[in-house]
Amino acid sequence: MNAAAQLVLKKGMTDIGQFSFTLENLIPVGMRVAINPFVIAGVIFYVVSLAVWLMVLSRVDVSYAYPMLSVGYIVAALAGKYFFHEPLGVTRWAGILVICIGVFLITRSA
C-alpha cells in the first residue's frame, strides 16, 4: 500500500508539474494539490497502509516486520521504470538484489 501511495502521488505531482516553494505559490499550488484525484488517492492509500501496519505490529515482532517494508522499495523501483520510464541502471539493480537478499535472510530467521 505504501508503494502504491508513492506511485499515485508521483502521478499526481507529475500532472501538477514543478513549482517553487514560495509564499505566492502556497495557495494556488496548495489548492491544485488538494483537489488532485491522484494525490487524494495517495493519501487514502497511506491511511489504509497505516491501518494495515498497526494490525501487523499487533501480531509480529517489529524487528521482523519493519525490514519487510523494504519490499516497497523494490515495487516502487520496478513500477517507476514501467509507469514513469525512470532509469534502472546497474547500481539500482544491485541495490534491489541486496534488498531481496536481506528480506530473504530476515524471513529465514523467523
Q: SS3 for 61?
A: coil
List, for residues 43-82, the tens digit of each pLDDT value: 999 999 999 999 999 999 998 888 888 888 889 999 999 9
d(CA 65, CA 58): 10
**Phi first, then psi: what are they for 86, rounded to 5°?**
-80, 145
Domain chopping of the chain, boundaries: 1-59, 60-110
101 and 69 Cβ atoms separated by less than 8 Å: no
Grid coordinates representing 36 are 488532485
Q: What is the pTM of this model?
A: 0.80
| Residue 69 identity | L
**Per-residue confidence (pLDDT) for residue 110, from 0 to 100:** 65
